[in-house]
Amino acid sequence: MEQGDGMATTEAAGSEVRGVDVSKYQGTVDFAKIKAAGTTYVFVKATEGITGVDPDYARNVAAARAAGLAVGSYHFYETDDDPSAQFGNFKQHADVKPGDLPPVIDIEVLASNSRPDLADDLKSFLAQIEQAYGVKPILYSGVSFANEYLTSFGAYPLWVAEYTSAPAPKVPTGWTTWTFWQYSQSGTVAGISGAVDMDRFNGTPAQLDALRIA
C-alpha cells in the first residue's frame, strides 16, 4: 500500500463506523463474530485483471450478508490489461446486489508494461461499472499513487489507504474529502485469524446506508 504525501487533511467524522476488507489471505472468516465485535461493513475481493478470481469470494460474500454486514465487492485493477476485458471478468464473477455498497476499483501500482493511456482506460472501466450497476464506483488507492496518476478522478468516492496515527488521512489532489479510510494493514478483530486491513467510514451509519445500491 502506498503512503506518500497528500495535500490536505479532514476530520475523521466517521471513526465509529468501522469495517474490514478481506480476501483469500484471511482464510475462513467468522463474519458473525466480526459483526458482534462492532464491524458494520466488509469489502470482499472478487476479481483481479482479466482472469483472476478470488477463490473465497462467493463464500465470503454469502457469509457476510448472512451475518447482516453491509457488503461491497472489489476488483484489483491491472494497468497492463484491457479495461473492457477486466470489466467482463468482474461482471461475470462479482455478485453485486441491491443493498450492497458500490463496487470498488483497487488501483495502487503500475505494471511494468502498463498500457499508455492509463487515465482513459480507467475512465472506460469505471463508466462500464457505473452503467452496469447504476451507481458510481469507489476508487481505492494510496495517497502518493493517487497524487501522481488519479488527479482527474475526484468525482468518484475515495477509499484512501494511509497508515498513520493521525486522526484522519491526507486527501490526494483532486478530492476534497475521503469516504473510506484504510488506516491499518495489521489490525486484529474477532472472527479473523491473523492480521487484517482495518477501515473507517467518514460519516454516520445512516450515511453509509445511503450509499447502498437501490
Cα–Cα distance list, 213 to 29, 59, 68 (Å): 24, 21, 16
Find out whether 14 and 203 touch, Cβ atoms under 8 Å.
Answer: yes
Rounded to whole angstroms, the Cα distance separating 34 from 39 reads 6
Catalytic site residue from 30, 80, 82, 108: 108
Nearest partner of 196 among 45, 14, 13, 67, judged by Cα? 45
Catalytic, 80? Answer no
Q: Measured between alpha carbons, how far is 97 from 48 in angstroms, rounded to an integer? A: 20
Neighbours of 206 (CB within 10 A): 8
Nearest to 56 by CA among 68, 71, 44: 44
Answer yes or no: are the C-beta atoms of 175 and 15 closer than 8 Å. no
21 catalytic? Reply is yes
Q: Of 132, 112, 111, whose CA–CA distance to 48 is shortest?
A: 111
Residues marked active site are found at 21, 108
